[in-house]
A and B are shown apart, each in its own frame.
Chain A
Amino acid sequence: MRAWLLALALAAPAAAQAPGQPSAVVDRSCDRACLIGHLRGYLQALGRRDPKALPVAADFMFTENDVAMPLGRGLWSSVSAIAPTGMEAADPVTGQAAWFGVVRENAVPAYLGLRIHVAGGRLDEVETVVVRREGLPLPFGDVDKVEHDPAFEEILPPERRRPRERLMAVADSYFSTVELNDGQVFAPFADDCARLENGISTTAATPGAGGSGNAAAIAGGCEAQFKLGIYRINKRVRERRFPLIDEERGIVVATGFFDHANGFDRYKLTDGREMKTALKWPNSISLLEAFRIRDGKIHRIEALFTYVPYFMHNPWAGRR
């Protein structure tokens, strides 16, 4: 009986927290500047290929393109340069920070999407999406001309902000709009909504822009593309996660997979135009996507994504 009571007493602290929370009081000791500092520290260590310089927690996990691996492998073994600037975001409530930018591997350009989580002054999570040129049709902008929209840095006046829950719902509605895209739009878009994907605008055609598969050649603007049903090949938008939310700036950083089942290789837009799929086989893209939401509407999107085997899973799914 006493042993039973002891076990109950030991179990009590964990059961006292809200599900999934390590503490009933949010640890905000690492503010935005602190989180951005960790982010930049990570990039500096990466640039020196020196993972030992990082303060990592005992339960640390690192992933690159949805594969858990030891810190020091993957991009760490090939990186030769890191762009001095990138798009930065932070969420002191959840201890998350993110960076979207350009790197070089053995002098060859790639895009890096980075998410970190800091707990107790140490990194315990690093999730990366590395976008490389692998001979597949993918937007891939000129790395020397990438311009991250300054809107991601701007603090919104209070009346243009929305609560965390609403920001997440708006970001999720974007994914619901992409999924099965048949012209039905669930997401609220600002009239001047614009999107950057792998360093290239896919909502405003840029003359001479590199890469392939640019939807801007078919229609301009965020909502117009979805009303046309350009992205119909997305059978599922899967394993959606929204680890980073910044209410002051209206930022949500999300991750997930777009499953292109490609059960059909031709489809019609809502205006009757016939489209051909770029690839004839099932594939998935793994993405890190940042939304800037103003007045409850999606104003800017910056996404980094790469192909992975169809229906691949993310080790972080079900965690954060």
Chain B
Amino acid sequence: MRRLLPLALLLVGAAPAPRCDDGCLHGLADRFVAALAQRGASARLPWAQPVRYAENGVSMMVDDGIWATVTAPGARPLVLADAAAGEVVWMGAIEEHGQPSFLALRLKAAGNRIAEGEAVIRRKEGRPPFADPKAIDFTDGLAAGQRTPRARLEAAARGWFAGQARTAPDCRRTENGVAGGCTAPATEAVRGLSFPVTDEARGLVVAVATRDHPGRAGGDTPFPHSYATVTVFQMGQGGIARVMEVSSSVPYLMPTWGARR
């Protein structure tokens, strides 16, 4: 019996952390965003250890970056959770010293604690497109969708970035709140593509990626450039029906955060 004791201890030590269900993930995202607007409130969040955190592709300490500038979280965000993946995405508006910005935040949970945060923040300054994020209902039109298996959702999103996706006749696309054609922008490369959240029932998938673009003579941007992006896709009858993207300019070919983790 005494010889079995170490094994018993090992089994106890290896007990899996409790899974964070959809409600738990929504709660983590809501608490996280609420804490951004209250200096010092990060200390009350349920952190795992270690924690990884990045803004616009750059690792940094919690309490730096937007933790020092956010003055009010916005209303009507889109919050999508994937309990199987243990990840949640919050997309909506925040205010930094009263100025509205887009925030696309991805959190990864370890048990019911926050182990990873990755934010893409788009401010009004810089190259277009940009529309007032406070005027946007990020949940608009996403309540219902075409039930779609995870693999097909991811394939459709991959196809979209490659310019080969089927889109529904009534497909709508926005980038930083500005409506555009439903086809993907022409890219030189799409790097670090991952799908942290999938909602099969509503036909939703979230993609995180970095897009690279060449400079074009006579174009809006004559020099090569890249964007960190978070994109929500929804499937409808006939293909992708909705594309909602938050993109923020980063230095050309900047390594994706995932690659440096």
Other-chain residue from A106, A277, A310 in contact with B223 (beta carbon distance below 8 A): A106
Q: Is the CB of B68 within 8 A of A282?
A: yes
Nearest Cβ distance between residue B214 and chain A, in whole angstroms? 6
Q: How many angstroms from the CA of A308 to the CA of B215 in the assembled complex?
A: 18
A110 at the interface (CB under 8 A from B): yes
Q: A282-B69, A309-B56 are in contact. Are A105 and B222 (CB under 8 A)?
A: yes
Q: A67-B252, A263-B68 are in contact. Are A78 and B222 (CB under 8 A)?
A: yes
Q: A106-B218, A310-B60 are in contact. Are A67 and B65 (CB under 8 A)?
A: no
Other-chain residue from A65, A107, A308, A313 in contact with B217 (beta carbon distance below 8 A): A107
| Stretch of B43-51, B80-88, B122-130 on the interface side | B122-130
Q: Is the CB of B58 within 8 A of A310?
A: yes
Q: Is the CB of B251 within 8 A of A106?
A: no
Q: Which residue of A lies closest to B214 (CB)?
A: A77
Nearest Cβ distance between residue A297 and chain B, in whole angstroms? 35
Query: What is the 8 Å Cβ interface bit string for chain A, positions 106-143, against chain B (1 contact, 0 not)?
Result: 11101000000000000000000010101111000000
B249 at the interface (CB under 8 A from A): yes
| Residues of A261-315 whose CB lies within 8 A of B | 261-263, 265, 277, 279-282, 308-313
Q: Is the CB of A64 within 8 A of B68?
A: no
Q: Is the CB of A105 within 8 A of B69?
A: no
* In the complex, chain A residues whose CB is within 8 Å of the CB of B65: 282, 310-311
A73 at the interface (CB under 8 A from B): yes
* In the complex, chain A residues whose CB is within 8 Å of the CB of B99: 280-281
* In the complex, chain B residues whose CB is within 8 Å of the CB of A313: 58
Q: Is the CB of B97 within 8 A of A280?
A: yes
* In the complex, chain A residues whose CB is within 8 Å of the CB of B219: 106
Q: Is the CB of B253 within 8 A of A105?
A: no
Q: Is the CB of B252 within 8 A of A64?
A: yes
Q: A78-B223, A108-B223, A262-B69 are in contact. Are A65 and B64 (CB under 8 A)?
A: no
Nearest Cβ distance between residue A121 and chain B, in whole angstroms? 29
Q: A67-B251, A282-B65 are in contact. Are A73 and B224 (CB under 8 A)?
A: yes
Other-chain residue from B57, B218, B253 in contact with A69 (beta carbon distance below 8 A): B253
B96 at the interface (CB under 8 A from A): yes
Q: Which residue of A lies closest to B55 (CB)?
A: A310
* In the complex, chain A residues whose CB is within 8 Å of the CB of B57: 309
| Residues of B241-256 whose CB lies within 8 A of A | 249-255
* In the complex, chain B residues whose CB is within 8 Å of the CB of A66: 251, 254
Q: How many angstroms from the CA of A235 to the CA of B57 in the assembled complex?
A: 20
Q: Is the CB of A309 within 8 A of B58?
A: yes
Other-chain residue from A106, A265, A308, A310 in contact with B222 (beta carbon distance below 8 A): A106
B66 at the interface (CB under 8 A from A): yes
* In the complex, chain A residues whose CB is within 8 Å of the CB of B250: 309
Q: How many angstroms from the CA of A19 to the CA of B127 in the assembled complex?
A: 45
With a 10 A CB-CB cut-off, give which of B57, B60, B222 has the most chain A CB atoms. B222
B231 at the interface (CB under 8 A from A): no
| Residues of A44-71 whose CB lies within 8 A of B | 64-67, 69
B112 at the interface (CB under 8 A from A): no
Q: Is the CB of A281 within 8 A of B66?
A: yes
A90 at the interface (CB under 8 A from B): no
Q: Is the CB of B251 within 8 A of A78?
A: no
Can you name 21 A-B residue pairings with CB atoms under 8 Å? A64-B252, A66-B251, A69-B253, A77-B215, A77-B224, A78-B224, A106-B216, A107-B217, A108-B222, A134-B126, A134-B127, A135-B125, A262-B97, A263-B68, A265-B98, A280-B97, A309-B56, A309-B254, A310-B55, A311-B55, A311-B59
Known: A67-B254, A78-B215, A282-B68. 15 other contacts (CB 8 A): A64-B253, A65-B252, A106-B215, A106-B218, A108-B223, A130-B223, A134-B127, A263-B68, A265-B97, A265-B98, A280-B98, A281-B121, A282-B55, A282-B65, A310-B58
Instruction: Give 6 closest A-B pairs by Cβ, nearest first.
Output: A263-B68, A106-B222, A265-B97, A78-B215, A106-B217, A280-B97
